[in-house]
Chain A
Amino acid sequence: GENVEQHPSTLSVQEGDSAVIKCTYSDSASNYFPWYKQELGKRPQLIIDIRSNVGEKKDQRIAVTLNKTAKHFSLHITETQPEDSAVYFCAARPADSSYKLIFGSGTRLLVRP
């Protein structure tokens, strides 16, 4: 079955710097890749997603890139702000399921003021 690995587990950046979180997946036919943000003590919320027919997607300061050949996708946050501090989870939807998401283990991002 699908397996998703996420790196790094923790990331500390200075406010204003960029942050990059990477995920690799095992099922080459996976077709949907969302990113969820979970602030401390709060519920996970979708921040951006990408489908397998697209290589990059941007939404203001965040972007996601997908490399299907290498089976990895990355979250990019530019001009980081303290409110970006949270745990970020990547996920992949395997081809044999229209509904199941396999999540990575999460990255704790700390943005230092």
Chain B
Amino acid sequence: GAGVSQSPSNKVTEKGKDVELRCDPISGHTALYWYRQRLGQGLEFLIYFQGNSAPDKSGLPSDRFSAERTGESVSTLTIQRTQQEDSAVYLCASRFSGWGTDTQYFGPGTRLTVL
């Protein structure tokens, strides 16, 4: 079946502009994560959604970052007033919630470049 998809694959923007990144999880996966991956670094947790529960926003680096998800469907990550340090690959992952199901399935990422 279809895996996690993300769009756009690449985004170049000017400093100060807002950007919106999209993630389509695997159908039936109730859990959804956003990560940031800076060049040569590990995956930095940003936010977690689980069904209709309140999201865990503890990883969002500033109030310029926000994310939404409606039910168990698409999620969008919005970065307002982008800064050069926001340049990174933004990865989305989804997971089926159930006993023993820990595997996160990643999307291909969105490479964001802020000029």
Contact = CB atoms under 8 A, between A and B. Distances in A.
Interface string A77-113: 0000000000001010100000111111110000000
Interface stretch (B61-69, B71-79, B80-88, B100-108): B100-108
B108 A99 contact: no
Interface residues of A, number: 21
How many B residues touch the partner, as a band? 20 to 34
Contact of A103 (B31, B40, B43, B109): B43
Contacts of B106: 36, 43-45
Given A43-B91, A43-B108, A44-B106, 15 more contacts: A44-B91, A46-B104, A93-B102, A99-B31, A99-B95, A100-B56, A101-B45, A101-B104, A102-B45, A103-B42, A103-B43, A103-B44, A104-B42, A105-B41, A106-B42
Interface of B: 4, 31, 35, 40-45, 48, 50, 56, 91, 95, 102-104, 106-109
